[in-house]
């Protein structure tokens, strides 16, 4: 039985590699033994599933909601009363949508993942489908459930807030997350993926969480959302540099593929990191974020690691791991500091 399982997984991988363009859906594969990941054990499969669902990046969405939920303490909109339960609902909802988006990407991006020899902690896909560790039907069922539960939470929040702003933001988030790699739009194949995900996991959850609390959105809220938006785009950008060759072979036309790894690492990435800090200064200068949030500049060391490692090792995927983790820590630092510093205005 083990030999037949291996042969079926091998045929599934070969079929994905021959299909071209990364557009082929993965076949349901038998969960055979994977010696590299220990995927034959339930714990190993659970780890693979959580990675396929984007668990290492859930903090990005959660922090965006935390920033949006606490920002009213600083901006003090008329009639503001903090609703803890609604904040928790928003947090759970965005994490579910985030998980659905990543699982959908795992399902539809099989053609690119199966070609990727540079699979790392934060890039290259989880390997759950190419290695035959988890069935494609299970991944598909899970992303549908995640989107449905996230949508249900969004509909409830829309029912307890004025108008249909939450409904609109939620629809945009679900569509953007799903069509990142799903046909017919396949946004990451058209050079739009980084922009869409930056909006879906940066601007959008901050605006939505703020609206749940304040029942309004203004230009200062948009400005306050920019540091985390540029930070999450930085995370996406550095994670795509190791995947340039397999993405190109699969027909993906991400902005990193279109620009090439050298320009992406030595020109665009430093600009993105700079914008993270400049947008924070702009927010403090305009009163959009509390000046105490400028403490986040102490995370400059993380930014330096991201830029320096990408500059020196953009063509060595195995040496970009520290830069990838530093980018995620940079987002974490900014998100935590911005959310906690806004709480300092509670007594004013």
CB 208 within 8 A of CB 90: yes
Q: Which of 177, 116, 107, 109 is nearest to 136 (CA)?
A: 107
For 64, the token pair is: 């965006």
pLDDT digits (tens, 9 = 90+) for 295-343: 999 999 999 999 999 999 999 988 999 999 999 999 999 999 999 999 9
Place of tokens 């042969």: 7
pLDDT digits (tens, 9 = 90+) for 17-42: 333 344 444 544 433 444 444 445 67
pLDDT digits (tens, 9 = 90+) for 129-179: 777 778 999 999 999 999 999 999 999 999 999 999 999 999 999 999 999
d(CA 306, CA 235): 9
Q: Provide DSSP, 119-153.
A: --SSSS---TTTTTSS-HHHHHHHHHHHHHHHHHH
Q: Indicate the angle between helix axes 165-178 and 84-108, nearest 10 degrees.
A: 20
By percentage, how much of the chain surpasses pLDDT 90? 69
d(CA 174, CA 153): 12
d(CA 259, CA 252): 13
**Backbone angles phi and psi of 145, in degrees to 5:** -65, -45
CB 32 within 8 A of CB 8: yes
pLDDT digits (tens, 9 = 90+) for 215-258: 999 999 999 999 999 999 999 999 999 988 888 888 888 999 99
Task: Say how far residue 177 (Cα) sits from the centre of its chain.
Answer: 9
Q: Is the pLDDT of residue 79 over 90?
A: no
Domain assignments of the chain as residue spans, ordered by start: 38-343
d(CA 348, CA 345): 5
Share the mean pLDDT of the chain: 86
Cis before 184? omega within 30: yes
User: How would CATH label the architecture of 38-343?
Assistant: Orthogonal Bundle (1.10)
For 281, the token pair is: 């200064």
Whole-angstrom Cα Rg for the chain: 20
CB 304 within 8 A of CB 269: no
pLDDT digits (tens, 9 = 90+) for 254-284: 999 999 999 999 999 999 999 999 999 999 9
CB 247 within 8 A of CB 254: yes
Q: Provide DSSP, 57-102.
A: GHHHHHHHHHHHHHHHHHH--TT----HHHHHHHHHHHHHHHHHHH
pLDDT on residue 6: 42
Q: Is the pLDDT of residue 1 over 60?
A: no
Place of tokens 């339930």: 42
């Amino acid at each position: 039985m083990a030999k037949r399982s291996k042969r079926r997984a091998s045929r599934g991988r070969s079929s994905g590699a021959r299909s071209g363009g990364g557009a082929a859906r993965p076949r349901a594969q038998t969960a055979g033994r994977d010696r590299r990941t220990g995927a034959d054990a339930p714990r190993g499969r659970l780890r693979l599933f959580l990675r396929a669902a984007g668990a290492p990046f859930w903090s990005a969405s959660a922090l965006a909601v935390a920033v949006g939920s606490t920002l009213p303490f600083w901006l003090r909109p008329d009639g503001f009363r903090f609703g803890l339960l609604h904040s928790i609902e928003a947090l759970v909802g965005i994490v579910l949508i985030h998980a659905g988006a990543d699982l959908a990407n795992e399902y539809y991006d099989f053609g690119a993942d199966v070609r990727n020899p540079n699979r790392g902690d934060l890039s290259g896909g989880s390997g759950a489908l190419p290695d035959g560790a988890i069935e494609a039907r299970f991944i598909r069922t899970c992303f549908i459930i995640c989107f449905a539960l996230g949508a249900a939470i969004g509909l409830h929040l829309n029912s307890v807030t004025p108008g249909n702003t939450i409904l609109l933001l939620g629809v945009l988030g679900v569509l953007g997350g799903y069509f990142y790699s799903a046909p017919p739009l396949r946004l990451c194949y058209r050079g739009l993926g980084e922009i869409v995900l930056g909006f879906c996991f940066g601007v959008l959850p901050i605006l939505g969480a703020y609206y749940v609390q304040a029942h309004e959105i203004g230009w200062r809220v948009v400005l306050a959302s920019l540091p985390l938006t540029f930070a999450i785009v930085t995370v996406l950008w550095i994670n795509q540099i190791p995947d340039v060759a397999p993405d190109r072979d699969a027909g993906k036309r991400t902005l990193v593929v279109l620009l090439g790894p050298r320009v992406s690492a030595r020109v665009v990435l430093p600009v993105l990191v700079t914008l993270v800090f400049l947008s924070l200064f702009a927010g403090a200068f305009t009163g959009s974020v509390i000046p105490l949030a400028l403490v986040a500049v102490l995370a400059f060391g993380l930014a330096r690691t991201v830029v320096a490692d990408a500059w020196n090792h953009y063509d060595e995927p195995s040496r970009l791991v520290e830069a990838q983790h530093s980018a995620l820590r940079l987002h974490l630092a900014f998100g935590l500091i911005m959310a906690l510093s806004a709480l300092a205005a509670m007594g004013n």
